[in-house]
Amino acid sequence: MMGNGQSSFPMGPRYGSHPYDDEYPGRMIIVEGIDGSGKSTQLDLLAKWLQSRGYVTVFTEWNSSPIVKRTTKRGKDDRSLTPMSFSLIHAADFANRVFTQILPALKAGTIVLADRYVYTAFARDSARGVNRDWLRRVYAFAIRPSLALYFKVPLDESIRRIVTGRDELGYYESGQDVMRYTKREKAFRKFQGAILEEYDRLSSEFELVTIDATQPIHEQQQMVRQLVEPLLPGVMRMPGHGVTEALVSSGLTGRYIHQSGSRRVPELASITDG
């Protein structure tokens, strides 16, 4: 396992200075936060609002590439993933999604909504002891998002939400591969606390927009929409058309097309279209 020192590696540039940052006609909005922060709910609500106004959105989420999904599952099942192998598998997953989903959609002028981005790797892998500088170089190929939202929630509140919402905590989810606690709940608290510390570091390093995730859901969403509104001029807008039709008109189609509206969350009557 690599240390967290900031030694240099002959690997080329670090993430954060991609030559095509801000060069594509589309926009990318990403959400980050520890488990239980409510970021996925906020992204779903944002997607519905954008689609109701005719904007074309493409959804992508962490660890979802079919190319590496089977490998990840097998490694988790037999607990054979080391911190470094886990990190590299996620990097492969991310690279596949960047070049088959994200970049084509941005080139077409659509809005990409990402549930977790490179900052998830930076936070989780660093919490597992992987070198921070090495991570930033591995992900140097990724462009910076138009807007990065960090939903910050206290550790105790995060744990309360998670324990209430699921039956069992996973081995890797709890960080038992590195925390070495016999009791999973104790490992989970320690691991999530380490991730939270990394996110606080990242929010300063990469200027993530921090949102208080303890506020009422509708207040968080109103804030999100206010931040997104200035990014909308110039992006693809095709009222009455779906993602497929819109991207066909731009000559970009393929298996990377995913409609974010397919993910369901309860409607909030208190959130207006203003």
Predicted pLDDT at 53: 92
Domain parsing of the chain, residue ranges: 27-262
The per-residue pLDDT of the chain, averaged, comes to: 83
Q: Tell whether the model's pLDDT for residue 260 goes beyond 90.
A: no
Q: Tell whether the model's pLDDT for residue 96 goes beyond 80.
A: yes
Confidence of residue 25 (pLDDT cuts 50, 70, 90): very high
φ and ψ of 221, to 5 deg: -65, -40
Predicted pLDDT at 84: 94
How many residues in total does the chain contain? Answer: 274
H or E stretch including 66? helix 66-77
Q: Tell the burial category of 20 from Cβ atoms under 10 Å away from its Cβ (0-12, 13-18, 19+).
A: exposed
Predicted pLDDT at 165: 67
H or E stretch including 44? helix 39-52
Average pLDDT for residues 82-97, to the nearest whole number? 93
- 11 Cβ partners below 8 Å, 6+ apart? 134, 137, 138, 140
- 136 Cβ partners below 8 Å, 6+ apart? 14, 15, 16, 122
Q: Order the strands of the 57-61 sheet from edge to edge.
A: 57-61, 111-115, 27-32, 147-152, 209-212
**Fold observed for domain 27-262:** Rossmann fold (3.40.50)
Residue range 123-151, pLDDT digits in tens: 999 999 999 999 999 999 999 999 999 99
Residue range 175-211, pLDDT digits in tens: 888 887 778 888 889 999 999 999 999 999 999 999 9
